[in-house]
Every structure is written in C-alpha cells, then in structure tokens.
Structure 1
Amino acid sequence: MDTTEIHSRVRESLDQLRRELIADRGDSNHWTGRLSASALSTATAISALSAAYLRSRNAPPVRADRRDSRRGKPSVDHARYLELIRRGCDWLDTQQNADGGFGDTDLSHSNIATSYLVLAARTLAARCLSNEHQGSQFAASQAALQAYLDTAGGIPALRERYGSDKTFVVPILNNLAIAGLVPWSEVAALPFEAAVFPQSMYRFLGMPVVSYAVPALVAIGQAKFCRSSCLPPWSWVRRSAMNPALKVLEKMQPGSGGYLEATPLTAFVVMSLVDTLSTSPLPNANRDRVIASGLRFLEESVDEAGSWPIDTNLATWVTSLSVAALANDPTDKREWSSELLVGWLLSCQHRQRHPFTGADPGGWGWTDLSGAVPDADDTPGAIIALSKLRDFVDPQQTAQIDAACAAGKKWLLGLQNRDGGWPTFCRGWGKLPFDRSSTDLTAHAIRAFALMPTCAQSEASVQRGIRFLRSAQQSDGSWLPLWFGNQDRPAEDNPIYGTAKVLVDASDDLGSDAIVRGVQYLLHSQNADGGWGGGSSVAGYFASGDSPPATSSGDVITSTMEETALAVEALASLWGYMSVQESAKNPEFSPKTPSLTAATRDAILAGSDWLVGAVAAGRHHVAWPIGFYFAKLWYHERLYPLIFTTAALGRVATLPFICGAEHDDTP
C-alpha cells in the first residue's frame, strides 16, 4: 500500500479522534467519562433502599436533610425511595438475557453472582411495591431467572466461583439472607473485630477479604453476629468490639457517603447495618450516621435511567489517559492544555494519610471525589500525564509538577511488594486475587519512573520490578493483567491488555528475549479481521439488526476497539527498538526470527487499517466490557475506545513507514 495513502488515512482518523476527545470535556477543564450502568450495582442499591424502606415504613415520612445526614439518624423519604426502587426494577426488567440470567452490563454474559443479586433485589422490592410490580410478565421473568440459577448450579456454584476469597461471595449470601432466600447459616462469620486493630496490622491478621473490603467486613460481620449464636466469653468480647468497629467504619466513610465511590460496597454496608437495627436495636450514633450517609450516596448516584454504575466516575484515570493519548501525536502542541487542567491534576493528589487504607500521602486515586483511594495504576498515570505537560507550563507550575511527581515516586517506592511487583492499594496483601502484585501496574510504575530523575533507590526498585515481570511472563509469551478481562475467554482473563501494557515503551532492561516472546504472542493473537481481542459476543452484537455496522464496509468482525488499539500502540512503540535489534543481528531476532520486524510492520498496518475502518463506521462510540472492578465485576467506560485509539494512531503516525520518512522496506 502506498505510504502516502496510509499516512493520509491515519492522519484523517487521528484528527477526527482528537477533535472528539478534546470536545468531550465540554465546559470542564478535565475529562469525566461515563461508566456503564450495572445490573449488579442497581440490584444492590435496590436491596439497600428496600431494606431501609421496610425498616422505617411504619414511621411518618421524613425527608432526610442532605446537609445533616451524617449527624442525624437514618431517615427515609418514603415516596422518594419507592420511586427509586420502582425505577430501578423497571430498568432491571430491560436487562435480562435470553438465558434468563443477568450480566454486569448491557453487553455482558449472564453470571451467577449478578443473577442472585437481582433475585434478592426483586424479592425485597416486591415487599415495598406490593402488587404493582408483579404481573404475569414479571412472574415469567422470575421463573426464567430461577431456571438460570438452577442450571448454573445454585449456591454451590456461587461459592465455587470465588473460591477462598470471601470478598464478594459473603456479601451476596448476606444479601440473600436479608431477603429471606437463604438461611443465615449460609453466611460465613467475618471477624469484624479485626477492624479495631491499627491498619498497619491488617495484612498480618489473615483477613478473609481484600484490603478495600474492610467496610463490608465490619457491617456484614456484625449483621451475621447479631443473627447467630455465640457462647460466652467470646460473645462478650465480640459484642464489646461492635462500637469501636463502627467508629472505624464511620472514620473510613468519605464525605460523599460512598465507600470507594462504589454503589455495591456502599449498598452492602447499608443493608447490613439496617438489618442490625432489628437484632441489635440499642442506639448507636456511628451506625446511624453511616446508614444515613450511605443512603444519601445511593440517592445521589442514581442515573437518569434509574440505574446505578459500579462507581461514580473514573475522572482522574480517564484524564491522565487522555493527556497521554493526545501527546502521542507527533504534531501535538498541547494547545488543548491549560493551567486549570494541570492544576486539577495536581489537586487530585492525596496529601494526607488516607483513612480508608492508611496509605501515605503522595498517590493518586481514580477520581477527584472523596471516595477515591490512592493506587498504583492511577499514580503512575498521573505522573506520566503531568510529565507530558511539564514543558508547556509556567515556571511555577513546573515546580509544582516536579514536587508532585517526586512525592508520587516516593509513594510508589513505598508500595512495592517483596516479590518486586506493585499491588493496587496496600503492600503485603498478597494472598487474595485483587491484592497481589500485578504485571500491568508494575509496568506502569516503571514507565513513570523512566520520566523522572533517577536515584539509587528507584534504579534498584525498577530492576526488582523487571525481575517480577520476567518471572510473570506466561509460557506463551503473554502477561496477564489484574483489572481487565475478556468475557469470551474461558478464564475471563485478558492477555492482550496485559501484554500490551507491559510492552508499550518497554526498555531493554526487560530483555530482548522477553520482548520478542511478547511481540510474538501479539502477532500470533491477531484476528483474521486485522484486530485483536473480542470474541463471539462481539460478533453476535454487531451481527444484530439493532447494532451499528462493524466496519465501514459493514463486515461482521470479532475484535474490539480497545484491545486492537492497545496492541497496535504497543507494537508501534517497539518498532524502533526492534529495527535496531534486528539490524544488529541480535540472537533473539536472527536466525530464529529473521522476519519479526517485517511481521510486526504488517501487523501494525493491518491493525491500523482495522482501526481506521472502525472509526469510519463509528465503532469507537461502542465501548466493550473489558474492565474489572473488584471480584470480577465487569464494566465498560465510554471513553476507552476513543482514548485508546487516539493513543494508538498517534504512535502509528510517528512510524517511518507510515509518515514516509523512509522507504517501506524491512530493515
């Protein structure tokens, strides 16, 4: 293909994407994005609101004072709650899949966890709505849902899905018990009293839940304790720990009322504490304030359709990604940036010890809202974004950026695990899946360090991180990420995302052997349509009459915008490195892989052509569920395909065989 034609098509698509991405900010100075509505989140919110309504419906309706909800007892505006419950149920009715089950998003496969939570929500809501929401159509829907759950294996299959990790299975069973669908004996006892110990000791106490689920541990643990028998003297010890644990629970609750800004976690806490009002009715101001503030969060986070997303937003994350994506364009002059944008990113840095995880100052979370917690993906993301803006600000902001990045670097150095990798939130919580070291987070931290002044400590830290990445490489050359997946793969993992995130801008320290194996994995994983990732659910969606065409030609394909863009960006970022290595006859490239550079070029061209065609067809407006939240709770983010494709084509526009800087020949 003529290089002038290639460059023209890439440039045209890139310019379109840049205009759309910049315009997406609207009147704001940063990006906010939009998370998908979630059947799981909506179900948990309905259950919490229903539990609160049922508890207080004999009391006169009182509108909660939003300003004073943290100081007052939990109060319920009955009419408002009934409206929210009804609208939530109406929305859930539109989300049932053909197999009778429910998935996390409108594009997700049915899963047993979400389906059970919908069953619990509908059961509790029916007691609030009387007969107004229970016609023949509802009865048929419930029968189909129960049939799905029976076919899926019921409660034993639910337990099997999560194994030894009680982070999510216990809250689900707790929700079912509150709804009267399972006996309380099915709910495991959780050591809520452990919360009274200093946070620095949590990782030594053998917690049965991940670090960020301590609020659920306290609330559900107390609900179970109040519903079960426990003999003295241990019952006296546990009961004496209830009030101190509730004080910890209130201290961890952010100003918004939403733990982690997450509807599921907040709803589990609220419904559990409401249940204790029946079994442990003694007044407790801490409990009352937590319930009131949590209910306020649920009221305020519902969307216009009557549903709830898994989290309020990922504003800091998508802003950092957008900055880096726009900066990939070789013609970019940061004309879209501003003092306000830089100031906003700087303001998102946590500057005090965090009450939720006990994290030291210096990190960034995923949003600017009060429920965010600093983590090892958003912190390097913010550092990289600020580094891209550093040369385009005044001296005062330059100094502020340098100080913020230095604090972020220190924070990351203190978080590194003993195995050399980086966890998400807390160092040393490595026993459960979402607390372990992660390949994508580790690679992200290493890329951030590369943009900052080095020192002996960071050099040693990077080398330990590199050893972790090399040891974590799979036998097929891929790396598996922590917070992203592919629902069409049997294990629901996403090696395309993980491999791309490790390889993008990979340094020679990773080793040419590891890089070559990773590149070969991406090359061998490219789909016949020229893209990457996806699977049968993508093909089915774009084959339906109600969906937009898959490409500008209307052909049905299986790849996703997100995964294709990530793979293209990673391969494009390595082009110069690979060209040099192969020209030098590096043993990893020759004679074993003499055509690796040419094959990579061809893959980049095919992937870029796929992206350009998909943009022309408007596919970058269809986000796919590749993101995980805790415990494999799927989501899609509206801006991911737009951001990832902008970043990929920006990289491609720099390549010599695209921009015409050299002849289209293999080195």
Structure 2
Amino acid sequence: MDRLRGELLAQRTEEGHWLGELSASALSTATAVSAMSAAVRSGELPDAEQAALLKQIQCGRSWLAAQQNDDGGFGDTDRSHSNIATSYLVLAAWALSDQVIGEATDAGAVARLKGWIEAAGELDGLRERYGKDKTFVVPILTNMAIAGLVPWKRVSALPFEAAVVPQSLYRFVGMPVVSYAIPALVAIGQVKFLEGGGCLPPWSLVRRAAIEPSMKVLQSMQPSSGGYLEATPLTAFVVMSLSASGRASHEVTQNGLRFLRESMLPDGSWPIDTNLANWVTSLATTALAMDPEDDRSWSTEALVQWQRGCQYQERHPFTGAAPGGWGWTDLTGSVPDADDTPGAIISLRMQATTKPSLLGGDDSQPWPASQACDRGVDWLLGLQNRDGGWPTFCRGWGKLPFDRSSNDLTAHALRAIACLPQRDSAKREPAIRRGLKFLRKNQQSDGSWLPLWFGNQDRAEEDNPVYGTSRVLVDASPELGHDAILRGLGYLIENQNGDGGWGGGPSVRETFALPEGSISTVEETALAVEALVSWWARIPGDEGGQAGPNDILSGSLWDPSMRSSLRAAILSGTRWLIDAVQHERHQVAWPIGFYFAKLWYYERLYPLVFTTAALGRVMQRDELLR
C-alpha cells in the first residue's frame, strides 16, 4: 500500500493536483491530419503557416503508419481492436494528406486497410455501429467527401440553421446530433450546403441567410484554447469543414488550427482530449483517503483552491449550463457535467472531514469551499431528468445514446447530494427518491448496471457491467433497497474470472502474453473489489457476528452463505491485485474508457488510482485478512 501511495503522490503537479495522461489515439491523429491537410489545400494560408502544418502532417502520417493492426484495420488506441470509424478516418487522412504532401501512402498499407473496411461492411457497417445517431456518421462521411472518397450526395444534410435558436430550445427542435456536437452540426451542415449541392428555394435562401448567424454561434462556443471540448476530433471536424468551404482564414478555423498544432504529442500523435485533470484529481484524492492510516497531508490549501477554481461561475457558452458545475479539466474547453461535479464535491467534503479549515465558510473568504459544494449540489438538482436519472451535460436531451440518463452518473450524483445531509433544500429528498427509483428500474435482470462512459472491448455489446455495477454499489446507500444491492453483489461474485480478477477478455492475455486463463484487467478488478468491500460490514453472516444498525437484514434474495461468498471473492480479488502490483501491471492502463461516440481511450492513472482505492478499502476491514 505504501508503494501505491508513493507512486500516486509522485504524480502530482507542483500545485498539488493531478494531470494524468490520456492515450494517443489513431482516430484523433487521423482527424487532425485531415483538418491540417484541408487547411493547406485551401491555399488561403501564408507560406510559413503552410510549411509548419506540413511538418506536423508528415509526423502524424508517420505515427499512423506504425499503428496499423495485423488485420489491416485501425483501433482507437494501440491496445484497441480495429473498428470501422477509425479505419475510415485513417483512410481519409491518408488520401487528403497525399494531396498536399505530394507523396503517396504505402500502397500495401492502403490495400490492407481497404480490405479490412470491405470485410467490416463498409458504409453499412458504419451505420450499423451508430444506428440512428448521426453525431459521428455524418462527420466521417463529410471527411471522406472532402478527401474525394465518396460523393457529397452520400452525406446527410444537417440543419445548421437550427443552431441560431436560443440554447434553451435546442432540445425541443429535434436536433439530429447529441448536445455536445453543435459545433460539428454548424460547420458540417454548412460545408454540405455550400459544397454538396445545397437545396432548392425558398429554403435555400433561409439557409444561406443563417450562415453568418450560425457562425457567430460557432464563435461564441469556441473556448480561448481553440479546442471545442478540448477534443481533437470535434475541433478537427470543424476546421476541415470550414477549410473545405473556403474559410481556412476565418478566426474560428485559425483558433482551431492553433489548438491542433499545440496539442500534438512529441511522437506525432494526438490524444482524444487534452487531459482529465479535475476528474483524475477527484479520483486520486478519494483513493488516498481510503487508506485508514491516511493523514490527509496531501490535502493542501493550494489543492483545495485549485479544485474550487475549476467550478464554473457563469453560464457556460457551450451547453448553456447554469453556474455551479465542474468539468473534467481546468482548461477552457471543458464543460460542466454530472460525473465531474459529484467527484469534486465528494473530494472536497472528504478533505474537510479531517481538515475543516480547508472547507472555509467564514466571511473573510470570498468563496469558501462549503459554498462551492452547496452550489454544486444545486447544480446537480437542476440537471436531473424527468425519469429520475442524471444525464451528462444537458437536462431533457434523451433521444440519442450519450445524452440519456445513466446509472453510474446517477449513483455518483446521489452520493454527492448525500455529502451535505444538513443542507436545507426542498428539492433534495424528492430528487433522491426519484434517483433511487431510476437505479432500481434500470438494474439488469442479471443484477448488473450498465454505465454510459465506460466499456469492455472484448464484449460483443462493448458495454461494461463490471464497471457500472461496481460504481453504483460504491456510491449507493442502503435506501437503494436490499434486493437491488444483493443482486448487484451477486452479479459481481458470480462473474469473477477464473484467474481471480474481473473484466477484460482474450485481448488482455494476447497483449501482455499472459498464461492461458489470465484475462482480467487491473481497472475492473480493483473496481469490483472496492465495491464488494464497501458492503462487507453490512452483510449479516453465518459466522455469528453481531448485526449493526446499517446491516442489510432482509431481502427476498437473501442467502445465508452470502457473507462467505463475499469474503472469498474479496480475498481472491485482493490476491490478484497484489500480484498485479508486484508484476507492475498497475502501471499499464487498459482501454476501458468510452469517449464521445464510442471512441476508446485509456488513462495512465486509472489502474494506479483504482488499485489504491481498492486496497485502501480492504485495509479498513482488517478482519477480512485474519
């Protein structure tokens, strides 16, 4: 445990918080290369800017050339299976960059990539992956049309003119994309209209009149960093679309190019996002606090001030979100959401339990952390959907997958609200009841809960019930219900792998050259162990122990052997984690992260943070180890 703590504390910045490190992404790199190539091809840029971009394009091409999988396709990360979206985007990047570099991509590599795409179903396979959600299908087709790989008639028209209505009405006008994709809606809708044939009068006149007003919306949403959501793909789609329609010199395009140039990694690749600093800081602090011997010496005034400084004080220009929420990073492209906001609240409250002075609360401090937590809870209460669950960004956008209410976010929000039990709020108790009802309703028949932003690439559905169930159980209170909790615990116990861990699949064994039967991941195993341990003391056993007031004493699914099964699962999972640490597997992250539009990523700190939290929980229950 001391080793894990030391490694985690060593990852702090000079200011005392954590930055983490996101995986390089073939998808991000491909879109960046395409965007820069489209800007150079426009002929609008000064010679010096073109020369600088060409160097970065060449670096990106070289990095991509080394990332092709053995099957000919491309995955989102260097540990990901090939997928149709990334493979198409790499093909488009190669075609576009060939045009401006004047040097053709290796013919054999292109042929193998095209062969994989054909075997994956080509455009039908792409549409099958995303269903009715046009958020990513239309941008990919737009990229291909700009590269000359498909005719413009294959690209669906997007109603960019709808962006000029007030943000509060977006959810009512039938947007064909998710809430966070409005910049792509505007830029891609415009290039399709201007370059792809437009439409007939009189509607063409209406759409043409909406170009400049919608460009002002695009400009108002762009953060000072130039990167929409700090995300390379979204920013790159905007840049390539504006460049392809004769606006490479526009301020929005130039700011986007600046972001792309500055966010390239030294090896010539781009990550899916700049960083998850606020998110990994919340995870790291709560993980350290699990250690029963932790003295909170890492909790400094500078850290608390930094966390408080990440809270939004004004209505957000991107989503129109009210003040009070936190996003995933302290950078300007971040957007407040219902996972990072609970994370920050829980982290601040956890620090305040042993260092009350850090929480503030006196009039001599202009913005004490106690008020920040109160405002964060108010923000969460205002975001709750009518179905009782919490969405990521915007209330009421429930038609497309990544805008719906989710189980892990709902459980996290409920835990954050419970952090302020003395706070007087007429909305608080009804919100908790509705949230618990949502979780009970959305529990799967096998006892699991599915998360929104995390997956498992070795499962056919690419979902991750181990992550979802673990997160719900860690955040849940007994009010969730005896049967729901017991079914969730039962799911984790029954789905423990033969090697003692959880999750993963064949690709784990193949990547790490592990023995037959070894398939578990550090991340999923740590999450499952933490969840099981969090309920250990509340489960009555067949060992003659005395039940406490918070014990689960009933439930139609109660089995007297549950406590023994629980202990066996915890101990074997703990042994697996200890062995993984001894073999330094906790230093190698696995792609369990699901970014926007089913894009895989891994975060270097996840295995270290999750393992620290799990083993800290185990140490709290020393009776487990006797």
TM-score band, normalised by shorter chain: over 0.9
Which residue is equivalent to 1:230? 199
Change (3 A) 1:60 1:641: closer
Q: Which moved more, 1:37-46 or 1:155-164?
A: 155-164
How many angstroms does 1:238 deviate by?
Answer: 0.6
Which residue is equivalent to 1:291? 253
* Of 478, 481, 486, the match for 2:451: 481
Which residue is equivalent to 1:24? 11
* Of 493, 496, 504, the match for 1:523: 493
* Separation in 2, partners of 1:560, 1:438: 23
How many angstroms does 1:142 deviate by?
Answer: 0.6
* Separation in 1, partners of 2:446, 2:83: 29
Which residue is equivalent to 2:265? 303
Contact 2:312 2:326 in 1 (8 A): yes
* Of 607, 613, 633, the match for 2:599: 633
Deviations 1:520-558 (A, max 9, x none): 000011000000000010011111xxxxxx5xxx78610
Structure 1 residue identity aligned to 2:130:
Y
* Separation in 1, partners of 2:355, 2:563: 38
Contact 1:190 1:217 in 2 (8 A): yes
Which residue is equivalent to 1:87? 59
* Of 594, 607, 610, the match for 2:573: 607
Which residue is equivalent to 2:227? 258
How many angstroms does 1:296 deviate by?
Answer: 0.2
Structure 1 residue identity aligned to 2:604:
R
Contact 1:542 1:556 in 2 (8 A): no
- After TM superposition, the structure 1 = structure 2 runs for residues 399-418 of structure 1, keeping only pairs within 5 Å, are 399=361, 400-418=368-386
Deviations 1:148-192 (A, max 9, x none): 001111111111111110000000000000000000011100000
Unaligned runs of 5+ in 2: 362-367
1:248 aligns with 2:217: yes
Structural RMSD (CA): 1.7
Contact 1:44 1:263 in 2 (8 A): yes
How many angstroms does 1:392 deviate by?
Answer: 4.5
Structure 1 residue identity aligned to 2:318:
F
1:61 aligns with 2:26: no
Structure 1 residue identity aligned to 2:210:
A
* Of 629, 649, 654, the match for 2:620: 654
Deviations 1:432-463 (A, max 9, x none): 00000000000000111111134442111011
Which residue is equivalent to 1:568? 529
1:320 aligns with 2:282: yes
TM-score (ref. length: structure 2): 0.95
* Separation in 1, partners of 2:516, 2:570: 20
* Of 461, 471, 477, the match for 1:507: 477
How many angstroms does 1:579 deviate by?
Answer: 3.0
Which residue is equivalent to 1:343? 305
Change (3 A) 1:394 1:588: closer
- After TM superposition, the structure 1 = structure 2 runs for residues 141-180 of structure 1, keeping only pairs within 5 Å, are 141-180=109-148
Which residue is equivalent to 1:98? 70
* Of 571, 580, 593, the match for 2:559: 593
* Separation in 1, partners of 2:92, 2:475: 47
Structure 2 residue identity aligned to 1:49:
M
Deviations 1:442-495 (A, max 9, x none): 000011111113444211101100000000000000000000000000000000
How many angstroms does 1:393 deviate by?
Answer: 4.2
* Separation in 2, partners of 1:515, 1:601: 16
Contact 2:16 2:298 in 1 (8 A): no
Deviations 1:97-148 (A, max 9, x none): 11100000000000000000000000011111112x54xxx11111000000
How many angstroms does 1:314 deviate by?
Answer: 0.2
* Separation in 2, partners of 1:579, 1:363: 39
How many angstroms does 1:80 deviate by?
Answer: 1.1
Contact 2:184 2:238 in 1 (8 A): yes
Structure 1 residue identity aligned to 2:436:
I
* Of 194, 203, 208, the match for 2:162: 194
- After TM superposition, the structure 1 = structure 2 runs for residues 375-390 of structure 1, keeping only pairs within 5 Å, are 375-390=337-352
* Separation in 2, partners of 1:60, 1:451: 55
Which residue is equivalent to 2:519? 558
Which residue is equivalent to 2:439? 469
How many angstroms does 1:389 deviate by?
Answer: 1.1
Q: Which moved more, 1:503-512 or 1:521-530?
A: 503-512
* Separation in 1, partners of 2:414, 2:598: 26
Q: Aligned pairs, how many?
A: 611
Deviations 1:250-287 (A, max 9, x none): 0000000000000000000000011111xxx7xx9xx8
1:130 aligns with 2:102: yes
* Separation in 2, partners of 1:618, 1:364: 33
Deviations 1:3-25 (A, max 9, x none): xxxxxxxxxxx111000000011
- After TM superposition, the structure 1 = structure 2 runs for residues 422-437 of structure 1, keeping only pairs within 5 Å, are 422-437=390-405
Deviations 1:578-607 (A, max 9, x none): 1389966934378x5110111001100000
Change (3 A) 1:580 1:343: farther
Identity %: 62
Contact 2:498 2:517 in 1 (8 A): no
* Of 63, 68, 81, the match for 1:109: 81
Deviations 1:555-586 (A, max 9, x none): 86100000000000000001111138996693
Q: Which moved more, 1:383-392 or 1:230-239?
A: 383-392
How many angstroms does 1:391 deviate by?
Answer: 3.7
Report the 3-state secondary structure (helix = DSSP H, G, I; strand = E; otherwise coil) of the residue aligned with 1:239: helix
* Separation in 1, partners of 2:142, 2:15: 41
* Separation in 1, partners of 2:272, 2:68: 18
Contact 1:505 1:574 in 2 (8 A): no
Unaligned runs of 5+ in 1: 1-13, 63-76, 544-549
Report the 3-state secondary structure (helix = DSSP H, G, I; strand = E; otherwise coil) of the residue aligned with 2:245: helix
How many angstroms does 1:224 deviate by?
Answer: 0.5
Change (3 A) 1:556 1:542: farther
Which residue is equivalent to 2:365? none
Contact 2:540 2:553 in 1 (8 A): no
Contact 1:542 1:557 in 2 (8 A): no
How many angstroms does 1:326 deviate by?
Answer: 0.2
Contact 1:103 1:111 in 2 (8 A): yes
* Of 30, 43, 46, the match for 2:33: 46
* Separation in 2, partners of 1:509, 1:290: 49
Report the 3-state secondary structure (helix = DSSP H, G, I; strand = E; otherwise coil) of the residue aligned with 2:54: helix
How many angstroms does 1:506 deviate by?
Answer: 2.1
